Structure formats: structure tokens, C-alpha cells
Structure 1
Amino acid sequence: MQTTQSQPRRHFLQTLLQSCAAGALLPQIETLLAEETGQSSRSLPPVPGKLSVNLRKRGKEIDASPTIEQTEWNASETAIIICDMWADHPCKLAAQRVDRMAPRMNQVISKARDQGVAIIHAPSGGIQLYEDTPFRQRIKEARPSKPPVPIQSWCYLNPEKESPLPVDDTVKRSTESTLRGCDDPIADYKKNTDRHEHPAIKIVGYDVISANGQEIFNFLEQEQRKNIVIMGVHTNMCVLGRPFGIRQLRYLDKNVVLCRDLTDALYDPRDRPYVSHARGTEMIIEHIERHWCPSILGKDLTKVIPGSNNPDS
């Protein structure tokens, strides 16, 4: 039962909230008010359960061996962002690899969702295809939050924080497209490829859809999701550079990691350093581990520590 002593404090917090601009509410004050009233602005149920996560890291030296550090995350403080897993792609070998990856990705996010992890689908360029769905409405209604640094439309390679990428993804083999890094033998770039998310990846429940950096930041703050897992394509381009990608999330001081077994690079073995496509992807993953953030495996997201999901645990 609330005591009369708490009423002045609650009134003070409500007055502060009312005085804030609509686009710049203070999350800390809203959290305190939620504690006072027993209410929460979170749309996903915050359930108990801890994930045991194995972080693979590297030193910045080029020959540094990876290390594994085990840590624990609350499932209710964790979110997955699925980057650009389109139903089709102008590069047909890239599309084939997405076809292969999508069913495994769906298995991982399905199990993670059951544990209380938030799922954000980000098929850039195809968001308008979902405008009339509850998944778009839910994220657009997230409480506005002011980011600590500007959210960029694209985060380019940052020479102050990283060395040049280990693969050359700048070569274009068609005058009809700006697409780079495609390893099709003969590039036949088709415009207007299907930008729906791959049909093997299911969008259900409390999931949300956005490729807007501010919308995603609002949702992460509202839902108190500080551990962010990026999976999808392409590792050397959109996964790093999108306004919800690894570089931007690091600038926002989020605890971001790459899911290394559910990603793929856009790299052509005809280009430097002339290695297989699989090795080229591995080299980009190593670059990210060295300069930006650790990586994990999808299986780390599929189950919680036994007993940690019990009430009042």
C-alpha cells in the first residue's frame, strides 16, 4: 500500500514529466514514476531468465589469438536486430546464402523470443511494405528518447577506431548498378528485387519492424534493452554501417555483439586478398572482433541458465 509520504514525490515526478518537451522526455524520471505507480512503459513483459553468453574477443594486433569470455545477460535486457535478410538480392549467390541461413536464424530467434529476448526486424528498403502491421505501429509508438550522440544515416569506416577492411569490397563489375562485392560469375543486376524479409524468418508476437535508427533507439530505451545482438547481412557493409548497425550502436554506448554464425559478407574472391568467400567473411568477423565488439554464436541465445527463469530468482 502506498503511504501518504510518497504522494509529494510522485506529484513532483509527474510535474517534471509534464514540463518536458514531448520529444525529449527523461527516461530516468519515467522509470522512477513507474516504480511509484507500479506501472511500466515497456510493451514486452520483462520476464526472469539469464543467458550464458560466450564472448569471442581479439586484441588489435593482427596476429592476436581470440579469447573467450563467459558472461551472463538478463534475457529481458537483450534484443536481436536482424539486418537486411531480404527475400531476394541483386547478387544471386548472396541471395542463395541468405536462403541457406534464414531457416537457422528463425530457429535461433524463435527460441530467444521464448526466453524473453526482443526481436527487431530491419529489412532496409522494405519497411514501407509493413506500414499497416502492428509490428510497425508498436515501434513507432515507443517513447521518444534523446540519444547521447547524433544517429547517422550511415556510419562509414572510422580510421580513428579501425584499420582498413581486410577485403576489397569496392570493385563494381557492372555499369548498371552501384552494387559492389558480388561474386556472381556474370553480374546481372536486377532492380526492384523483393525487399520483404525472407519468408523463412517469422515476424510474430511482440516483434517490431524498423530500419530507422531513432525508432530503434527509442524502442531499445523504452524496453530497457542494453545488450544488442546483430545478425544478418552483409557483415562488411550494412551490419557495420546502418544507423542501427555495429558502429552506430557502439557510438551510442550499447553493449553490442555480432552473431558470427548468422552473418555473411559481400565479397568477391576475384578481389583482394584473393581468398574464398567463406574466408573473406571470417576476416571481416575478425576485423569486427578486433576493433568494434565481440562475437557470439546463435546457440548462446536459445536457452537460459537452469533455474534463473523461476519467479523471484
Structure 2
Amino acid sequence: MSGTEPRETWYREPHTTRAPRPQEEPALATLDLPLRYYWLQTPAGVPGDEHNFAHYERAFSIPAEQAAFTIVDAWDYHYLQSHLARTSEICRTRIAPAMAAARLAGVTIVHAPGDPVARRFPQWVRYAAETEFGEPSHEEPDWPPREFRKREGPHAALGRPDSPAIESARERNSQRMIDPSVSPEPEDFVIATGHQLHRLCRDREIMYLFYCGFATNMCVPNKPYGMREFNSRGYHLTLLRDCTTSVERHDTVDEQLGTEQAVRELEFGGAFTTTADLFVQACRNAIAQEGATLAEPVAV
């Protein structure tokens, strides 16, 4: 999934790079919190049996200046009304307060809504390559033939029909925006691609990514700016597990079992998880290290 970034000129606004640190600078404020993971192994002396797998926690101290709070595909519209109801509530009650705390603690805020949503925000240009300013282009593979890949012409019978809901949603999808409760501030960053996010992190010396957004079983792990790609790049990843939800199935939606399984797959696949409350408290403590205070978030 990871590819070599093309060598190309890219644009950034002036003063994006952090200033060099003075030689005698005090220690950076840190986010001190326990992070959870799932181990597909067993401790010494415990039989190697799947019944003995379990969650574990480790305490971490993460420099706030080297961390980014990354919000994936937090859109204001989805054709599935039940899913949209959950995402809207999570944005308003969990992601928004966590984002406010992160911002005050000195954590970089990154909105990753993908194309074409990202291009509707002026912050998008900060880490866009010159080649990305035009319309997004996708190189056509040379095999299988296009009609076969698109299930068109003589191969139409191989495809699946779209529901009327999908057909009517296509136009609305082209106009969607970021959920207003987590809308970008002028100083935030907005990215459309994994290359943009990597450029931003490289330029600002960010190595720790806190993820939230939607959906846990689709875009959060699988987008080019998602967790699997950035795990393969070597970043330290943490998902706020109560700041996300999956597109569930008919037999998982009542108990949110799809979300639980998607979170667990990330936990044993190289990422850690935490909760919004633990993250906000870590941000408060980081601010206290700086002698600052954190105002109570205002409900949107």
C-alpha cells in the first residue's frame, strides 16, 4: 500500500516549519497516558492458546509538539441515516472536546476529509504538491481491460446493482463538507492525500498520530492517509476508540460489534488505542506543565 513519494516541488505557506529550538530549552510538554493494545501472543508460562489472548496497557509520554490529532472523513452527510446519526453525535460530544484540548496543548490539528472535500478549505494548499493542484487523476491499469474492470458492456452481468439510495446520494456526496462541530480553524491543517500528511509530518517533525473519525472498518484504516498506510511508514499510531464508529451490518448494528472488531484488528495490527476522556486529561496535564489552563469546551 505504501509507495515511494515522487520527487516534486510542493507548496507551503511561510513560517510553516517550526523554529529551531534553543540549546537550553526546557523539556517539551508531554501527553502522559496509558495506551491499550491487543496481543496475539501469550506471556511467559502461559499456554499458547487463543483463549489466553488479552488486552494489555502500557504507559507512554508523548511530546505534544511531535504529535498530530488526525480526523478522518468526519463528513456532514452520509446516505446511511443511522450511521450519520452516530457520527454526528461522536463529532459533537467526543471529537470536538478532544480536538479543542489537543489544540490548546500544542498538538497539531489535521483534518483529513479526502478529495474533493479537502479542496474546499484554503488550508488544503499548505502541503499540496504542484502536481496536485489540478483535478485528481488516476492512472489506468493496463489489465484487466477497462470494460471488464468497470463491469460494463459485455461484462455488465458480473457487477452488482446500486440501490436507489446510492444513486440519489451521489450528487449530495459531491457537495458534502466537514461536520460543523469539528470544522477547521484557520491555523489547522487540511489534507487530501497520504503524501500531503507525510509531508506535513516530516516538515513539522511529527512522529505520533492520534486518529479519530469514520468509518472504523473502512476509511480510518484503509485510506492513503489512514492507519495501515502510516503504520507501514513507521509512525506511532493511537486510535481514540470512542471517537469512531463502523458502518455496521444488520446483525452487528445493535451492539456495535463491527466497531469492536475493527478496533481490535487495529490494536493487534500495530496501533494502540485510548479514549477521549483519557486523551483530554493528558492534554490538560500537558498544559499544566506549561503553566497554562484549559477552558471547558463549549457544546456545539
Give the alignment's TM-score, normalised by structure 1: 0.66
How many Å separate the matches in 2 of 1:43 and 1:127? 31
How many Å separate the matches in 1 of 2:37 and 2:203? 29
Tell me the equivalent position of 2:96: 106
Per-residue deviation, 1:137: 2.8
How many Å separate the matches in 2 of 1:284 and 1:253? 21
Tell me the equivalent position of 1:137: 125
Tell me the equivalent position of 1:42: 18
Tell me the equivalent position of 2:107: 117
How many aligned residue pairs are there?
Answer: 235
Tell me the equivalent position of 1:191: 170
How many Å separate the matches in 2 of 1:74 and 1:241? 26
Instruction: Check whether the contact 1:44–1:223 (CA below 8 A) recurs between aligned residues.
Output: no
Tell me the equivalent position of 2:228: 247
Q: Deviations over 1:75-107 (max 9, x none)?
A: 101001111111101211111111111112111
How many Å separate the matches in 1 of 2:255 and 2:7? 48
Does 2:63 align with 1:77?
Answer: no
Structure 1 counterpart of 2:35, one-letter code? L
How many Å separate the matches in 2 of 1:247 and 1:44? 31
Pair 295,128 (structure 1): closer, same or farther in 2 beyond 3 Å: closer
Pair 43,54 (structure 1): closer, same or farther in 2 beyond 3 Å: same
Which of residues 18, 36, 46 in structure 2 aligns to 1:56? 36
Instruction: Check whether the contact 1:268–1:277 (CA below 8 A) recurs between aligned residues.
Output: no
Structure 1 counterpart of 2:120, one-letter code? Y
Match of 1:304, SS state, is: helix
Moved over 6 A (4+): 43-47
- Give structure 2 stretches of 5+ with no counterpart: 1-5, 42-49, 131-138, 140-159, 293-300
Pair 23,43 (structure 1): closer, same or farther in 2 beyond 3 Å: farther
How many Å separate the matches in 1 of 2:36 and 2:268? 10
Structure 1 counterpart of 2:220, one-letter code? V
Instruction: Check whether the contact 1:213–1:244 (CA below 8 A) recurs between aligned residues.
Output: yes
How many Å separate the matches in 2 of 1:285 and 1:67? 14
Instruction: Check whether the contact 1:81–1:231 (CA below 8 A) recurs between aligned residues.
Output: yes
Tell me the equivalent position of 1:289: 267
Structure 2 counterpart of 1:51, one-letter code? L
Give the alignment's TM-score, normalised by structure 2: 0.69
Which of residues 199, 216, 223 in structure 1 aligns to 2:204? 223
Per-residue deviation, 1:195: 2.5
How many Å separate the matches in 2 of 1:281 and 1:219? 29
Per-residue deviation, 1:138: 2.5
Tell me the equivalent position of 2:162: 176
Structure 2 counterpart of 1:283, one-letter code? Q
How many Å separate the matches in 2 of 1:294 and 1:100? 23
CA RMSD across the alignment: 3.3
Instruction: Check whether the contact 2:118–2:191 (CA below 8 A) recurs between aligned residues.
Output: no
Pair 24,310 (structure 1): closer, same or farther in 2 beyond 3 Å: farther
- Give structure 1 stretches of 5+ with no counterpart: 1-20, 26-38, 143-152, 154-173, 178-186
